């Protein structure tokens, strides 16, 4: 888990996000985790059973869930741990590309899940 956050950190440690690479890396990891959990859960749980009276309530509910996960990960994997991660591994660039393809496949899986839920 910390290595994936390190890969995101390495990506965000340049350009416009150079000021906040750790926060962006943790948020990207939490978002990716959330996308995967929602996609997998949608195959096993019918989300029609979960009822919110408005979209604002559903956004607030999932926002609170994301915030809790963010702060838990932020607590257990501190910024200094990610900054001190050994980047001398020659496969870091390859692992970055593999992470990119994993994110791409996760989004495709999410789109397939959304399409499948629309046709039910």
Calculate ∠ Cα 1-101-83, nearest 5°: 35
Domain count, the chain: 1
- Judged on CB neighbours under 10 Å (0-12, 13-18, 19+), 34 is middle
Q: Are residues 52 and 58 in contact, defined by beta-carbon separation less than 8 angstroms? A: yes
| Arithmetic mean of pLDDT, 2-18 | 87
Question: What are the residues whose beta carbons fall under 8 Å from the beta carbon of 74, sequence distance 6 or more?
Answer: 26
Q: How far apart are CA 30 and CA 71, in angstroms?
A: 10
Alpha helices per DSSP H over 1-120: 2-12, 21-44, 55-76, 79-83, 92-118
Residue-range definition of the domain harbouring residue 109: 2-118
More confident residue, 117 or 107: 107
**Per-residue pLDDT tens digits for 23-71:** 999 999 999 998 898 888 877 776 666 666 777 888 888 889 889 999 9
């Amino acid at each position: 888990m910390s290595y994936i956050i390190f890969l995101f950190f390495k990506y965000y440690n340049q350009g416009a996000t150079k000021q906040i690479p750790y926060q962006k890396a943790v948020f990207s990891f939490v978002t990716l985790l959330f996308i995967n959990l929602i996609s997998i859960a949608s195959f096993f749980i019918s989300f029609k059973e979960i009822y919110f009276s408005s979209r604002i309530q559903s956004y607030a509910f999932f926002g609170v869930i994301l915030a809790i996960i963010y702060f838990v990960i932020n607590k257990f994997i501190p910024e200094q741990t990610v900054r001190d991660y050994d980047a001398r591994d020659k496969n870091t660039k390859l692992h970055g590309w593999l992470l990119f393809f994993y994110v791409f496949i996760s989004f495709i899986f999410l789109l397939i899940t959304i399409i499948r839920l629309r046709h039910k």
